[in-house]
């Protein structure tokens, strides 16, 4: 039961927000995160084409041996990725709450430019309160 990180990826595959929590996973440079987010964006699109039984969503959960990546794709193409420990039953509801905070603190903020990196103190604060 632990949360390691949160990414927000815009609809073009660019990483617009990255936060790491705790020391569960090593901290990479922002450039490395950018590359990983871009890769994930591409993989996500491919995974929906590999379905053996007709149309499919992209990957929801990607698991390693000690952690997993939970992915929420919104109707507008923004992806929220939550890195958690393998047993984290609240990951989906957390992602919904993050989406809600994003809608409030980012999209309603006149000083945010859509698709650009998120620099909103209110978003930071509320994410810290939620995921700490």
Partner 1 sequence: MTIYSLYIYDRHCACVYYQDWHRTVRPKLAVEGGLLPAVYAPVYPSTNPDDASYSNRNTLASSSGVVVAVNEDVPRTPLPTQSSHSPIAQLPPPPTSSLSFDEEAKLVYGVVLSLRNMIKKLSGKDEQFTNYQTSTYKLHLYETLSGYKFVMLSDPNADSLRFVLRQIYSGPFLEYVVRNPLVEMDSRERGIDNEYFRMSTDRLVRGLTVFQ
Partner 2 sequence: MSYPQPHPRFSVLSNSSLSSAEHLSPASSSRFSLPSAPSINTATTPKPGVRPNIYDRPLNKTRNAEVSAAAFAFMFSEIVQYTQKRVSGINDLERRLNTLGYRIGTRVLELMAWRNESAAKAPKRETRFLPALMSIHTHVWRAVFGKPADAIEKSVENADEYMIIDNDPPITRNISVPRDMSSLSCSSFTAGIVEAVLDGLGFSARVTAHNTPNDQYPNRTTILIKLEKSVLEREEALKT
DSSP state of 63: E
Measured CA to CA, the distance from residue 82 to residue 95 in angstroms comes to 7
Q: How far is the CB of 126 from partner 2 (least distance, A)?
A: 10
Cα-flanking dihedrals φ and ψ of residue 3, to 5°? -115, 130
Return the range that interacts with partner 1 (CB under 8 A); candidates 56-64, 89-97, 104-112, 118-126. 56-64
- Say whether residue 110 binds partner 2 (CB under 8 A): yes
CA 4 to mean position of chain CA atoms? 11
- Say whether residue 109 binds partner 2 (CB under 8 A): yes
Q: How far is the CB of 110 from partner 2 (least distance, A)?
A: 4
Measured CA to CA, the distance from residue 102 to residue 132 in angstroms comes to 16
Q: How far is the CB of 123 from partner 2 (least distance, A)?
A: 7
For CA atoms 31, 127, 99, 43, the dihedral sign is positive
Q: Which residues bind partner 1 (CB under 8 A)?
A: 25-26, 28, 32, 36, 39-40, 42-43, 46-67, 83
Q: Which residues bind partner 2 (CB under 8 A)?
A: 104-105, 107-112, 119-123, 125
């Amino acid at each position: 039961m632990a949360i390691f990180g949160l990414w927000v990826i815009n609809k073009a595959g660019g990483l617009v927000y990255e936060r790491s929590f705790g020391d569960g996973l090593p901290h990479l440079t922002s450039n490395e995160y950018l590359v990983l987010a871009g890769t994930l964006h591409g993989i996500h699109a491919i995974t929906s084409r590999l379905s053996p039984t007709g149309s499919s969503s992209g990957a929801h959960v990607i698991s390693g041996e000690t952690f997993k990546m939970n992915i929420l794709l919104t109707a507008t193409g923004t992806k929220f990725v939550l890195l958690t420990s393998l047993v984290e039953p609240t990951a989906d509801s957390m992602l919904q709450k993050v989406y809600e905070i994003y809608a409030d603190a980012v999209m309603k903020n006149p000083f945010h430019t859509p698709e650009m990196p998120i620099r909103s103190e209110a978003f930071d604060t509320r994410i810290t309160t939620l995921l700490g």
